[in-house]
Structure 1
Amino acid sequence: MTTRYRAAVLGSPIEHSLSPVLHNAGYAAAGLDEWDYTRIECTAADLPAIVGGADESYRGFSVTMPAKFAALDFATEATERAAAIGAANTLVRTPGGWRADNTDCEGISGALDALLAGAPIGRALVIGAGGTARPALWALGERGVGRIDVLNRSDRSAEIAPLVRGAETTFSGFDADLYGLAVAADVIISTVPAPALRDYADALGHAPVLDVIYEPWPTPLAIAAAANGYTSVGGLVMLAEQSFSQFEQFTGVAAPRQAMREALARHTG
């Protein structure tokens, strides 16, 4: 009898997650007929029971909000980047339990590659400093970016210092010279809800934009950047890019990246 393997995405609400589109397309393209990927409704409080009670057929879980912090707490081991970021979007079964990882930083890095086509980043502007910003800051630190300006309502310099690998970091509020910050940046990464920038988009839209939002798209910031001749990529690119490492950690097989990207593009139309 063929052994069945399973993986799933955990979060709440979860019914609209696009992760099954990516992973199941990958299984089909890689010939992994014995694999299946589903959605499971899961709050932070639910996670220990769901993951701890999963039978051996479950080889891994993707984790979205609000369970990312619980995933890191539950794991028996963690990668360096998950520990530094302080949250996990990936749990992989190991002989001794579960390993936590955070592939969101790979999502950011892959999206930056798609946006900038290999152009170097000397200075970046990151909008927001919460949980979604931390993988972005880690990815920029990994690239050796020299200066990172963070636009946020409070100064969290001490919190982000372990993420940015010694980059010069400045915090500014929304009463700062937003145009000046944007013009000086090689790239802008927005990690805040799209409506939060509606009143600031015209001032900020003066550099290439990576906006983690994918619905609705385009965001006000992406529209403003386009009006000034700059390209943007959205959260769908990041979503695909972060899924590849998850796929490989779960299955041990190289992710069929193009097939997964194409499936997501077909699904989202």
Structure 2
Amino acid sequence: MSHPLEMPDVRHRAAVLGSPIEHSRSPILHNAGYEALGMDDWEYTRIECTAEELPAVVGGAGEEFAGFSVTMPAKFAALDFADEVTDRARQIGSANTLLRTESGWRADNTDCDGITGALEELLGGRFGRARRAIVVGGGGTARPALWALAQAGVTDITVINRSDRSAELAPLLSPLGVAFRFAGFDSDLAAAARQADVIVSTVPSVAVEGREQDLAHAPVLDVIYEPRPTPLTVAAAANGYLTVDGHVMLAHQAYGQFEQFTGRPAPREAMRRALEASLG
């Protein structure tokens, strides 16, 4: 791929950093936004970047770069690199957004906006009344999901994961007044699911293989968007529950990034339409 600086007609840039990065749909979202608003001097690209490489890539970026979206495995490095950190990024413990400021780089986490937007589409008016939730997984995507659920008023969360990460998550959830417990995949998942108002799965489909029927007893947000639908959402839909997949989360997390980078309202319909067209 050519280096982004090789196109002199573009005066403003942003990019997504991660490794591997060739699969990222973020350029489709952001470039569709630029096109919709007639921002011909903006371009959004992909840059292969590991956590170790992030300081050099961002620190060496030209002045035309307004910001970076950050995906795994560099989200924790982005938080450490930043000169300034938003409260929510600090609480969540990772950053998916780096914005150039007059004093350096500010880290934020819009993944929680993605979770919130997807859950609002999934549950509608019931989202603010949800009190019990299940989060499948305990890694990087689980943290903004847990934060978003707590901010929405969920007070009881079961985290299903292969290993118990209570010590890691307590500093995030305890100050938010959330009672949480860990459960392994060998526990009675069906009983837990039947008591939940919503389930958020943050793990690859293979991680829940064979347990989809146990979990499919509540509305489901599955953050996976390729391939879709996932076996978990298929099982939940077959039981009569609403489901939403990860492309909705991806779109909602991108809107805030677009607005931070450009200072303009995101053309949400155009961005979402382009993403869905790319996914078929």
TM-score by length of 1: 0.96
2-structure distance, mates of 1:54, 1:178: 47
2-structure distance, mates of 1:41, 1:101: 20
> Shift of the alpha carbon at 1:3?
7.6
Contact 2:17 2:46 in 1 (8 A): yes
CA RMSD of aligned residues (A): 1.4
Please tell me whether residue 101 in structure 1 is matched to residue 112 in structure 2.
no
- CA offsets 1:162-209 (integer angstroms, 9 cap, x no match): 433111112111222111100100100001110111111111101110
Of 212, 224, 230, the residue aligned with 1:219 is: 230
2-structure distance, mates of 1:103, 1:118: 22
Please tell me whether residue 49 in structure 1 is matched to residue 56 in structure 2.
yes
Please tell me whether residue 250 in structure 1 is matched to residue 261 in structure 2.
yes
Of 151-160 and 182-191, deviating more is 151-160
Match for 1:147: what amino acid? Answer: D
1-structure distance, mates of 2:9, 2:227: 42
Match for 1:138: what amino acid? Answer: W
Cα 1:220–1:2 shift into 2, 3 Å: closer
> Shift of the alpha carbon at 1:20?
0.5
- Partner of residue 161, structure 2: 152
1-structure distance, mates of 2:98, 2:89: 11
| Structure 1 spans left out of the alignment, 5+ residues | none
2-structure distance, mates of 1:45, 1:158: 26
Please tell me whether residue 73 in structure 1 is matched to residue 80 in structure 2.
yes
1:75-90 superposed matches below 5 A: 75-90=82-97
Contact 2:83 2:106 in 1 (8 A): yes
Runs of 4+ in 1 over 4 A off after TM superposition: none
2-structure distance, mates of 1:221, 1:105: 22
DSSP-derived class of the 2:39 partner: coil
Match for 2:268: what amino acid? Answer: R
2-structure distance, mates of 1:64, 1:183: 33
- Partner of residue 133, structure 2: 124
Match for 2:153: what amino acid? Answer: G
Of 227, 239, 249, the residue aligned with 1:238 is: 249
Match for 1:173: what amino acid? Answer: G
2-structure distance, mates of 1:258, 1:104: 19
1-structure distance, mates of 2:10, 2:73: 32
2-structure distance, mates of 1:140, 1:66: 24
- CA offsets 1:200-239 (integer angstroms, 9 cap, x no match): 1111101110011111212121111011011211111110
Of 130, 134, 138, the residue aligned with 2:147 is: 138
What is the identity percentage for the equivalent residue pairs of Structure 1 and Structure 2?
67
DSSP-derived class of the 1:171 partner: strand
Please tell me whether residue 180 in structure 1 is matched to residue 187 in structure 2.
no
2-structure distance, mates of 1:158, 1:113: 30
Match for 1:181: what amino acid? Answer: A
1-structure distance, mates of 2:83, 2:155: 34
1-structure distance, mates of 2:47, 2:163: 35
Contact 2:10 2:40 in 1 (8 A): no
> Shift of the alpha carbon at 1:2?
8.3
2-structure distance, mates of 1:230, 1:241: 22
Of 3, 6, 21, the residue aligned with 2:13 is: 6
1-structure distance, mates of 2:167, 2:19: 30
2-structure distance, mates of 1:3, 1:31: 13
Of 90-99 and 223-232, deviating more is 223-232
- CA offsets 1:40-80 (integer angstroms, 9 cap, x no match): 11111111111001111000000111111111111101111
DSSP-derived class of the 2:119 partner: helix
Of 20, 40, 51, the residue aligned with 2:47 is: 40
Q: How many residues align?
A: 269
